[in-house]
């Protein structure tokens, strides 16, 4: 679930415009089954975020920001190889969230940390979903390589 008190007015506006509302809760049963068939196990952090945002295309608040498409099935699903690579580099359990910036992939770790991957490179989006959304949608700080990458 998105913690509304942690959202900037700009991010909140972009989320509402995309179709989000406080308390939004999408039924994930079909998505969970589909992702299971690809070898992905949905964590609590992923489920919480996807219940709030699944199916939304969140346009960047700043003109040059690419939209964040929140749909794990948009990620290049390769039987979990991509998440295995993240797990071997950074530890934890990772789950795809959707696509952003040049159709790169966005993942969330069990603890809530989110990263963006493109061309075998990895960048840190934030330690929480709200931090990651602020960067992806509002470009509130520079995109930095993920530690250890």
Q: What's the rounded Cα separation, in Å, for the pair 20 and 94?
A: 24
pLDDT tens-digit map of 16-52: 999 999 999 999 999 999 999 888 899 999 999 999 9
4 or 92: whose pLDDT is higher? 92
pLDDT tens-digit map of 56-73: 999 987 666 689 999 999
The whole model's pTM is what? Answer: 0.93
pLDDT tens-digit map of 85-112: 899 999 999 999 999 988 899 999 999 9
Ranges of each domain in the chain = 4-145
Q: What's the rounded Cα separation, in Å, for the pair 60 and 5?
A: 20
Q: What's the rounded Cα separation, in Å, for the pair 47 and 102?
A: 25
Joined together, the tokens standing for residue 57 give: 């295309």
CB atoms within 10 A of CB 103: 12
Mean pLDDT confidence for 110-119: 93
Answer whether CATH 3.90.550 is correct for domain 4-145.
no
């Amino acid at each position: 679930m998105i913690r509304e008190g942690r959202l900037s007015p700009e991010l909140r506006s972009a989320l509402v415009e995309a179709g989000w509302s406080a308390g939004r809760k999408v039924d994930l049963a079909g998505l969970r089954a589909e992702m299971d068939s690809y070898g992905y196990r949905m964590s609590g952090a992923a489920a919480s975020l996807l219940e709030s945002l699944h199916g939304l295309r969140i346009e960047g608040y700043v003109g040059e920001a690419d939209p964040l498409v929140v749909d794990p099935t948009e990620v290049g699903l390769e039987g979990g190889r991509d998440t295995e690579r993240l797990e071997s580099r950074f530890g934890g359990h990772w789950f795809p969230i959707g696509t952003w910036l040049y159709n790169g992939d966005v993942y969330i770790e069990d603890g809530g940390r989110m990263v963006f991957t493109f061309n075998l490179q990895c960048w840190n989006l934030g330690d929480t979903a709200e931090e990651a959304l602020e960067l992806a949608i509002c470009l509130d700080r520079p995109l930095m390589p993920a530690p250890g990458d």
